[in-house]
Amino acid sequence: MLALYKHVSSSFLCRYSPSPGPLRRFVGILSSTMIQFPALFILLGLLLLANSAAVDRTSEEGEAAILDPNQECTPYNYATVTNQMNSFPQVWESASILSDDAAAFAKWSSISANIPTNIPQKTQPPPSSYSASDPDCWWTYGQCTTPKLADLPPDVAAASEPSTLGYGFDDGPNCSHNAFYDFLQGQNQKATFYFIGSNVADFPLEAQRALTDGHEICAHTWSHPYMTTFASEDMQMIKLVVGVTPTCWRPPYGDVDDRVRAIAHALGLQTIMWEYDTADASVDGKTITDQTVVDNYDSFIQKASSGAFNSTGAILLTHELNNFTMSEAVNFYPQLKNVFQHLVPVGVSLNKTQPYVESNYSLPTFEQYISGTLTGSRGSPNSTTALPSSTSTSLRPPSTSTANSAESSASKNSASSLVKTGYNQILLSASFAAICFHFFGTVDFLMI
Ligand SMILES: *[C@@H]1O[C@H](CO)[C@@H](O)[C@H](O)[C@H]1NC(C)=O
Ligand SMILES: *[C@@H]1O[C@H](CO)[C@@H](O)[C@H](O)[C@H]1NC(C)=O
Ligand SMILES: *[C@@H]1O[C@H](CO)[C@@H](O)[C@H](O)[C@H]1NC(C)=O
Ligand SMILES: *[C@@H]1O[C@H](CO)[C@@H](O)[C@H](O)[C@H]1NC(C)=O
Ligand SMILES: *[C@@H]1O[C@H](CO)[C@@H](O)[C@H](O)[C@H]1NC(C)=O
Ligand SMILES: *[C@@H]1O[C@H](CO)[C@@H](O)[C@H](O)[C@H]1NC(C)=O
Ligand SMILES: [Zn+2]
């Protein structure tokens, strides 16, 4: 279905219109039938009305109103993305620097002095030859989150505030997430969402909803590779679709070492990890079952209620991946609320009031959030004015269609600058091309 999306052309879907001749004939038949069976047509009209009310697939607001998960997961066309797709890698394929992107190559050389060359690329799983002293602070090897390389900040693996859960979900946007986002909205709860660029490309209106609802967005790579193609093109895609550039990222599978951290750091990305894992995305029916996930939630909740997070909070790995992961999030929400004093987006737990490169979106401080100011400001580029309604659950712009057309005309006027906005992220993928090569054993054009 994801692949199919790329081939659904709007012109095919929308521009077909019958020539006047047959159309007149059709109208003629139609009106004579209408005279004979009026009730049928009233019914038909009502059905059409009900249906058209449910299928606005052109705006964030319309998409957010869809209640049927199957309908929400049906591919749709979004011109802003379609028109820019040639500046991005194929969805779910490794990201690379486009060969004609001189700015990206220039950025790469500007940061490459900061990237250690003595930290070798890795294989998956860690080989027995890797030193037990874990010289590279390789998380996959030993869950290391405090870099050994000088000048790198530690990963964020816990919420530092007492009895606080840094609440967030990986792998979105899921196409059928409305029930889950509606739930969060009903609870007045904000979270951090780690979006995969390919999902953002496929479901842009779902991605927009996260920002509209006041959640925090971090990057989670373009195509979710092991050991990172690190495709920050996902951030370009987030910028293109949602209008913001994240400054935080979470490595898929947690697969990060000091070399990867150095690149992320040089590009202004804070690395967000976790210490506890529900394994909700790993259910395989064998070693990990639904019950395993329930048990993991239970033992985490048990730990919290025994006071383990009384002085330093926690981050728990959970996913927006599918109906099961989101349903468990809903099921366990009351208990998490019960055992933690505060459930807040990770950025809020860090007092990170400027979560994006763009200065016109802010997050509240931790203190503000826990006293009821759940969302920050949003305004003109340099504005710091807070929104009047501090507990507003939605930042939905007054007119989504205006926002969209502004967005698409912006992208039309500056296709290349949009690409450049995120060019630094592309560099990341390039850096890891060799790793992909290693992992997948396929020839990859990403090598630099
Ligand atoms: C943790 O905090 C709770 C609530 O303040 C308290 O009842 C409990 O005794 C504390 N537990 C520990 C181990 O400090
Ligand atoms: C979203 O969740 C649905 C329901 O579990 C699943 O069928 C679908 O594959 C998921 N899609 C994406 C893009 O995550
Ligand atoms: C899971 O799927 C069911 C059936 O489609 C739906 O009613 C429910 O809202 C979904 N739950 C979540 C959290 O998405
Ligand atoms: C956040 O700010 C509050 C005061 O406003 C402070 O007490 C707290 O330590 C800060 N937390 C972090 C993680 O910086
Ligand atoms: C934020 O600023 C950017 C330019 O940096 C602009 O494109 C965008 O429309 C602004 N968003 C809002 C909500 O004002
Ligand atoms: C916003 O601030 C930047 C740097 O502080 C400045 O260059 C820019 O002109 C300002 N933009 C507006 C719209 O005030
Ligand atoms: Zn993931």
Could you tell me if residue 448 is inside a domain? no
Question: Is the CB of residue 239 below 6 angstroms from any atom belonging to ligand 5?
Answer: no
**Measuring from each residue's beta carbon to the nearest atom of ligand 2, which residues come in under 6 Å?**
73, 174-176, 199, 321-323
Could you tell me if residue 357 is inside a domain? yes
Query: Ligand 4 pocket test: which of 156, 161, 311, 348 has the largest number of ligand atoms within 8 Å of its C-beta?
Result: 161
**One domain, residues 47 and 96:** no
Residue-wise pLDDT for 180-233, tens only, equals 999 999 999 999 999 998 999 999 999 999 999 999 999 998 888 754 334 334
3-state secondary structure 95-112: CCCCCCCHHHHHHHHHHH
pLDDT of residue 123: 79
Ligand 1 atom closest to residue 308's alpha carbon, by position in its atom list: 13
Residue 328 in this model has a pLDDT that exceeds 50: yes
pLDDT, mean of residues 232-246: 68
Could you tell me if residue 170 is inside a domain? yes
Catalytic residue among 215, 220, 224, 319: 319
395-410 burial: b if 16+ Cβ within 10 Å, else e: bbbeebeebbeebbee
**One domain, residues 105 and 42:** no
Catalytic residue status for 265: no
Return the closest-CA partner of residue 426 out of 245, 239, 233, 267. Answer: 233
* Number of neighbouring beta carbons within 10 Å of residue 5: 19
**One domain, residues 132 and 9:** no
pLDDT of residue 48: 52
What integer best gives the mean pLDDT of the chain? 75
**One domain, residues 30 and 97:** no
Q: Whose CA is nearest to atom 9 of ligand 2?
A: 322
Could you tell me if residue 271 is inside a domain? yes
Ligand 3 atom closest to residue 69's alpha carbon, by position in its atom list: 5
pLDDT of residue 231: 34
* Chain Cα centroid distance, residue 326: 15
Give the angle 67-71-74 at the CA atoms, nearest 5°: 145
Question: Is the CB of residue 323 below 6 angstroms from any atom belonging to ligand 3?
Answer: yes
Residue 412 in this model has a pLDDT that exceeds 80: no
**One domain, residues 181 and 107:** yes
pLDDT of residue 266: 85
Which is more confidently placed, 329 or 114? 329
Could you tell me if residue 247 is inside a domain? yes
Residue 288 in this model has a pLDDT that exceeds 70: yes
pLDDT category at 124 given cuts 50, 70, 90 is confident
pLDDT of residue 447: 18
Beta strand extents in 241-288 (DSSP E only) = 248-249, 270-271, 276-277
HSE at residue 208, side-chain half, CA atoms within 13 A, is 27
- The most confident of 97-111, 294-308, 396-410, by mean pLDDT: 294-308
pLDDT, mean of residues 145-174: 97
pLDDT of residue 33: 56
Of 54, 72, 91, the residue that ends a domain is 54
pLDDT of residue 346: 98
**One domain, residues 204 and 272:** yes
- The most confident of 25-34, 75-84, 98-107, 327-336, by mean pLDDT: 327-336
Question: Is the CB of residue 21 below 6 angstroms from any atom belonging to ligand 6?
Answer: no
Residue-wise pLDDT for 262-272, tens only, equals 888 888 899 99
Residue 178 in this model has a pLDDT that exceeds 90: yes
Question: Is the CB of residue 275 below 6 angstroms from any atom belonging to ligand 5?
Answer: no
**Structural domain boundaries, residue 40:** 2-54
Could you tell me if residue 76 is inside a domain? no
CB 196 within 8 A of CB 181: no
Q: Whose CA is nearest to atom 13 of ligand 2?
A: 174
**One domain, residues 29 and 85:** no
Residue-wise pLDDT for 333-381, tens only, equals 999 999 999 999 999 999 999 999 998 899 999 999 999 999 998 865 4
pLDDT category at 110 given cuts 50, 70, 90 is confident
Q: What's the CATH number where 299 sits?
A: 3.20.20.370
pLDDT of residue 176: 97
**One domain, residues 15 and 161:** no
pLDDT of residue 432: 30
Catalytic residue status for 284: no
**One domain, residues 140 and 227:** yes
**One domain, residues 128 and 24:** no
**One domain, residues 325 and 384:** yes
Query: Nearest ligand, CA of residue 309?
Result: 1
pLDDT of residue 27: 44
Q: Rounded to whole angstroms, how far apart are CA atoms 202 and 55?
A: 17
Helix axes 258-266, 423-431, angle to 10 degrees: 160
Query: Ligand 4 pocket test: which of 164, 270, 272, 366 has the largest number of ligand atoms within 8 Å of its C-beta?
Result: 366
Question: Is the CB of residue 311 below 6 angstroms from any atom belonging to ligand 1?
Answer: no
Predicted TM-score (pTM) of the model is 0.77
- Tell how far the Cα of 90 is from the centroid of ligand 2, in angstroms: 19
Q: Rounded to whole angstroms, how far apart are CA atoms 101 and 89?
A: 13
**One domain, residues 88 and 19:** no
Q: Rounded to whole angstroms, how far apart are CA atoms 10 and 82?
A: 9
How many domains does one find in the chain? 2
Query: Nearest ligand, CA of residue 163?
Result: 1
pLDDT of residue 53: 55
- Tell how far the Cα of 72 is from the centroid of ligand 2, in angstroms: 10
Could you tell me if residue 445 is inside a domain? no
Could you tell me if residue 74 is inside a domain? no
- Tell how far the Cα of 176 is from the centroid of ligand 2, in angstroms: 6
Question: Is the CB of residue 331 below 6 angstroms from any atom belonging to ligand 3?
Answer: no
